[in-house]
Amino acid sequence: MNAAPDLTIAKAVNAGLRRAMEENPRVLLMGEDIGSLGGVYRVTEGLKKDFGGHRVMDTPLGEAGIVGTAVGLALRGYRPVCEIQFDGFSFPAFNQITTQLAKMRNRTNGDVTVPVTIRIPYGGVIGSVEHHSESPEALFAHTAGLRIITPSNAQDAYWMTQQAITCEDPVIIFEPKRRYWLKGAVDTQRPAADPFTAQVVRPGEDATVVAYGPLVPVALAAARAAEEDGRSVEVIDLRSLSPIDFDTVEDSVRRTGRLVVAHEAPTFGGLGGEIAARITERAFYSLEAPVLRVGAFHLPYPVAAVEDQYVPDLDRILEALDRSFAY
How confident is the model over 178-233, as pLDDT tens digits? 999 999 999 999 877 899 999 999 999 999 999 999 999 999 999 999 999 999 99
**Taken in order 198, 204, 208, 211, is the CA torsion positive or negative?**
negative
For residues 137 and 306, what is the distance between their CA atoms, to the nearest angstrom?
22
Q: Which residues are catalytic?
A: 132
* Distances 184 to 12, 122, 179, 232, 308 between C-alpha atoms, Å: 9, 20, 11, 25, 25
Domains, the chain, in order of start with CATH, read 6-185 (3.40.50.970), 199-326 (3.40.50.920)
Amino acid found at 216: V
Partners of 149 in the beta sheet?
173, 240
Partners of 117 in the beta sheet?
81, 171
Torsion region of 181: left, alpha or beta (phi above 0 gives left; psi -120 to 50 gives alpha) = alpha
Residue 193: per-residue pLDDT: 87
Residue 2: per-residue pLDDT: 59
Give the residue ranges of the chain where pLDDT is below 70: 1-3
Distance from first CA to last CA of the chain, Å, rounded?
A: 51
Contact residues for 182 (Cβ-Cβ < 8 A; gap 6+): 8, 9, 153, 154, 217
Which 3 state secondary structure label does DSSP give 251?
A: helix
Residue 157: per-residue pLDDT: 97
Partners of 174 in the beta sheet?
120
- What angle, rounded to 10 degrees, do the helices at 314-326 and 216-227 form? 50
DSSP code at position 115: -
Go through 192-220 and write b for each residue having 16 or more CB atoms within 10 A of its CB, e for each that does not: beebbebbebbebebbbbbbbbbbbbbbb
* Distances 82 to 8, 60, 156 between C-alpha atoms, Å: 21, 13, 19
Residue 4: per-residue pLDDT: 79
Whole-model pTM: value is 0.95
Residue 100: per-residue pLDDT: 94
Measuring CA to CA, which residue among 43, 91, 100 is closest to residue 73? 100
